[in-house]
Amino acid sequence: MIVCVAVVGHQNNPLYIQSFTEADDALKLHHIVHCSLDVVDERVNNPKKSGPLLNETFLGLLYPIENFKVYGYLTNTKVKFILVTTDLDVKDADVRNFFRRFHAAYVDAVSNPFHVPGKKITSRTFAERVSTIVKSFGLTSAV
Amino acid sequence: MVREVSESCLDSLLTEVVSCYCNRFYPNKHDLAARRIEAIGYQVGHQLSERYTMERPRFNDHLEAIKFICKDFWLELFKKHVDNLRTNHRGTFVLQDNKFCWLARMSIDPFADSGKSPEDITSPTAGNKATHAMKMHLYFSCGILRGFLSNLGILCAVSADILTLPTCAYFSLSHTYTEITL
């Protein structure tokens, strides 16, 4: 089950953080997302030779913490997407699919002429699309 | 849901934007009008960069980003590639388009007075005013390029020049403070 998704700008400023649990642990999730930014920077600057391709947008599993898993995705414009989930058997293809749809929703939200680059995303349409994507995560069978 | 607009609408809009900013909003202050038009282009380029770099992996260096502009980005915007790309390997790139679509329908109007002989059309003042008017139309596309590059992290200045109508060239200079040239 996805616990939290976050969009972080290229100066590590938060653009969108949304948690999907009823529990009141927003602060802990913020902290997890914040820690994962360091891991993203490390992955990008010190590529492992045997790891994923140097320039791929999907960074894969960043690190496990407590009972959460954190996945990262870095776009061409240095915007980072962070996904925190409690699922134990997450398929790689599912996460890639999730990030692809999330990226499409993000691009549409940023193309809004009233959106100021660098400020938080306040579009309700974006929030609805994200919750739709989150709800359908893992439900569609991987083809 | 994809909604489309005809190209002639966009052409007319851009012509009207230039005319509005030069004649109505900032009459006699063409530099200011140019900066405002370029700023509009900057925001458009910023947003377009998100959309068009979505599918591909990250760029390795500036040259790859410029090559992407010359091929894919120009193809998306103008349905053709950039015709010529030159660089001095020190951060300056020149992109040349031999038939720039937003200038393709413009002509230099020779003076209407019947008394003028054809040689007068090439007099310096007539040519200057015409090219100056046409250069105003290039500021929007300069802004698009600058916005696109700056969203990829490449800070630069973009300027444009008209060689012979409708050929135009864009000069992009990178200001990277930690660059070491060999």
Mutate to test the interface with A, among B151, B152, B154, B155 (most CBs of A within 10 A): B151
Consecutive 10-residue averages of pLDDT for chain A (143 residues): 87 86 78 86 69 66 82 87 83 87 92 88 90 81 41
Instruction: List domains and CATH numbers for chain A.
Output: 2-142 (3.30.450.70)
The answer as to whether B113 is a domain residue is no
Question: Does B141 reside within a domain?
Answer: yes
Q: Does any domain span residue B133?
A: yes
- Residue B153 belongs to a domain: yes
How far, in Å, CA of B109 to CA of B100, rounded?
A: 19
CB distance B94 to B87 below 8 Å? yes
What is the extent of the structural domain holding B64? Answer: 7-106+127-175
Say how far apart CA A116 and CA B138 lie, in whole Å. 25
Closest residue to B58, CB basis, from A57, A103, A113: A57
pLDDT at A47: 63
The pLDDT of residue B115: 40
Residue B85's contacts (CB-CB under 8 Å, 6 or more residues apart) are: B66, B67, B70, B93, B94, B95, B96
Gap between the Cα atoms of B35 and B176, Å rounded = 22
Q: Is A113 in contact with B43 (Cβ distance < 8 A)?
A: yes
Q: Which of B2, B54, B59, B60 has the most A C-beta neighbours within 10 Å, making it the best mutation to test the interface with A? A: B54
Distance from CA of A89 to the nearest CA of B (A): 27
* Per-residue pLDDT tens digits for B142-161: 899 999 988 888 888 888 88
Determine the residue type at A53: L
Residues B4-32: what's their mean pLDDT? 87
How many separate domains does chain B show? 1
Whether B62 is in a domain gets the answer yes
Angle at the Cα of A19 from the Cα atoms of A17 and A22, rounded to 5 degrees:
155
E strands within A9-65? 14-19, 58-65
> Which stretch of A57-66, B42-51, B79-88 has the lowest confidence by average pLDDT?
A57-66
B121 in a domain, yes or no? no
Look up the pTM and report it: 0.82
Report the DSSP pairing between strands B168-174 and A68-74: unpaired
Enumerate the residues of chain A whose CB falls inside 8 A of the CB of residue B43.
113, 117
**For residues B5-25, average pLDDT:** 88
Q: Could you tell me if A30 lies within 8 Å of chain B, comparing CB atoms?
A: no
Q: What is the largest CA-CA distance in chain B?
A: 62
Instruction: Give the β-pairing of B156-162 and A14-19.
Output: unpaired
CATH number at residue B72: 3.30.1380.20
Decide: residue A84, CB within 10 A, 0-12 exposed, 13-18 middle, 19+ buried.
Answer: buried
Residue B1 lies in a domain: no
Residue to test with chain A: of B1, B43, B50, B60, most A Cβ within 10 A: B50
ipTM of the complex: 0.82
Residue B117 falls within a domain, yes or no?
Answer: no
